[in-house]
């Protein structure tokens, strides 16, 4: 990844913000992870983006603008990474990165990070949030239904991606393809029923699952969140 000077980063940051502000109503969220303060830009009202999806686009991809919000699962996983994991010098990929909170926190804690999402719009926000928080990470489009990335990673992170049953096996297949031998994936989910099906399917596909139960207490509501650690059974025996 080519490193920009501080002046070049500030110029890109301002340009990105101005472009995004023309297209979206924006929201800035202040968060603290591992004792460090972060700021994240997202869309004020993701539901307003539904009008932008044409029927043709929906039929093709069934893509909803889930990327535009910061979900409790992402905040919980970011806290887990900052407080309970050693990611320094690890090569990390996030799938379904959205606006990039998990990727930014991972990079701040010393990981070499590739943030990926199917939405190119999401990656613009992820890039902005990386610049805003002064961390180095790369952003690339990735379709977990057909992974083209040839690199393999020490760790894979994903927050709130288990919302459609049709995605479960593609996500498991993507994880299998993207993890190095001995690698592990951490999937954060607000205990949807479909997550239970994901666990069963993952175990059927040679993954051992270790759940970590956590509670999100920020904002107006609390939320029960489980982080599922996935590692290959064949490597843990």
Q: What is the pLDDT of residues 32-62, one digit of tens each?
A: 999 999 999 999 775 555 455 544 544 445 5
Q: Is residue 178 part of a domain?
A: yes
| pTM recorded for the entire structure | 0.91
Q: What is the CA radius of gyration of the chain?
A: 17
Is residue 193, in this structure, part of any structural domain at all?
Answer: yes
Sign of CA dihedral 143, 202, 233, 185: positive
CATH of the domain at 102: 3.40.50.150
**Average per-residue pLDDT for the chain:** 90
Q: Give the 3-state secondary structure of 154-191.
A: EEEEEECCCCCHHHHHHHHHHHHHHEEEEEEEEEEECC
Q: What is the residue range of 148's domain?
A: 6-236
At residue 11, the 3 state secondary structure works out as helix
The domain total for the chain is 1
Better-scored residue on pLDDT, 48 or 85: 85
Q: Is 1 part of any domain?
A: no
């Amino acid at each position: 990844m080519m490193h920009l000077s501080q002046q070049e980063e500030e110029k890109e940051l301002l340009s990105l913000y101005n472009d995004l502000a023309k297209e979206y109503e924006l929201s800035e969220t202040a968060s603290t992870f591992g004792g460090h303060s972060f700021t994240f830009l997202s869309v004020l009202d993701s539901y307003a983006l539904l009008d932008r999806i044409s029927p043709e686009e929906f039929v093709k991809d069934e893509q909803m603008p889930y990327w535009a919000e910061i979900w409790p699962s992402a905040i919980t996983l970011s806290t887990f990474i900052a407080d309970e994991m050693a990611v320094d010098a690890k090569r990390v990929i996030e799938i379904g990165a959205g606006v990039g909170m998990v990727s930014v926190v991972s990079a701040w804690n010393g990981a070499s990070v590739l943030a990926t999402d199917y939405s190119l719009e999401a990656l613009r926000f992820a890039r902005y949030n990386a610049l805003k928080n002064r961390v180095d990470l790369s952003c690339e489009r990735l379709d977990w239904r057909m992974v083209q990335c040839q690199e393999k990673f020490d760790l894979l992170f994903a927050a709130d991606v288990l919302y459609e049953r049709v995605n479960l096996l593609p996500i498991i297949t993507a994880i299998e393809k993207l993890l190095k031998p001995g690698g592990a994936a951490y999937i954060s989910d607000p205990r949807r029923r479909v997550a239970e099906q994901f666990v069963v399917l993952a175990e059927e596909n040679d993954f051992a699952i270790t759940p970590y139960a956590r509670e999100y207490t920020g904002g107006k509501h609390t939320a029960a969140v489980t982080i599922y650690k996935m590692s290959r059974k064949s490597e843990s025996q």
